[in-house]
Amino acid sequence: MSPPPLLVADLGRRRYAEVLDLQRRLCRARQDDRDREDLLLLVEHNPVVTLGRGTKASSLPLSPEALRDRGVEVFEVERGGDVTFHGPGQLVGYPIFDLTRHRQDLHWYLRAVEEALIEALGSLGLEAGRREGLTGVWTGGRKIASIGIHVKQWVTFHGFALNVATDLDAFDLIVPCGIDGVTMTSVRRELGDVAPEDISVVVRRAVVAAFGRVFDRMPRSASPDEWNIPDSTGVQEGTTP
């Protein structure tokens, strides 16, 4: 018997507020209709700093106003974790999964997302792993992927940010994930001269395949009507501090 499908929607490059609102609508739709399939949104954002529920004042050396003056949007969101940066060259993934069809265990889910990214990087020739007591994915002592999730009625949203060809200088604007002294890296930096020209495409393909293996799903492209939930209120749900 074939595994259930994993619908994959590649949204291209979009503003954070737009996709945050979409995630919330998709989460509600999944709560209302448990027969909907698991969905993985893949996206690249314009420069934005997001503040999770665990954000410390010391993690944001610059004020939100100073960040906006530099062209970086700032959002307070419901996900767990501290502060993080999203920007061009980064693969951001938002799984809209119903954990009642997997395992109702948030620790297991976090470790599974990490495992999918570790497997994807391994398929590209990058040895990656975890650091005890911390959430995310590391390679050679450097952090390459951040994870922050939120779950409502066992439906997940928010997700991961994998640095593919990201301008790593942008992380100097914050204390990434609130970890003092952390060094951020990217797939391109780690692979160096052997990085393929179409690195974004290659990484997307590897991540999708790994999510399928780890969550026992068969990935396929989602049609627009499977992910584009209309906003019936016309109200944008993004919040800025």
240 domain-assigned: no
List the catalytic residues.
Answer: 177
238 domain-assigned: no
* Tens digits of residue pLDDT in 132-150: 999 999 999 999 999 999 9
Question: What does DSSP assign to residue 187?
Answer: H
198 domain-assigned: yes
Whole-angstrom Cα distance, residue 49 to residue 16? 9
Q: How far is the CA of 92 from the CAs of 63, 181, 232, in angstroms?
A: 24, 23, 26
30 domain-assigned: yes
Q: What is the CATH number of the domain that holds 10?
A: 3.30.930.10
What domain range is 44 assigned to? 5-227
* Tens digits of residue pLDDT in 75-98: 999 999 999 999 999 999 999 999
200 domain-assigned: yes
236 domain-assigned: no
150 domain-assigned: yes
pLDDT at 128 over 70: yes
The arrangement of strands across the sheet holding 137-139 comes to 137-139, 142-152, 155-163, 90-96, 38-45, 5-14, 218-221
- Residue 25 is encoded by which pair of tokens? 């609508």
- Domain count along the chain: 1
207 domain-assigned: yes
In sequence order, the 6+-apart residues with CB closer than 8 A to the CB of 57 are none
Query: How much is the pLDDT for 238?
Result: 42
In sequence order, the 6+-apart residues with CB closer than 8 A to the CB of 197 are none
Task: Kindly write down the DSSP assignment for every residue of 69-117, as one continuous string.
Answer: HTT-EEEE-SSSSSEEEE-TTEEEEEEE-BGGGS-S-HHHHHHHHHHHH
pLDDT at 241 over 70: no
In sequence order, the 6+-apart residues with CB closer than 8 A to the CB of 237 are 20, 21, 24
Query: How much is the pLDDT for 234?
Result: 41
* Tens digits of residue pLDDT in 170-198: 999 999 999 988 999 999 999 998 889 89
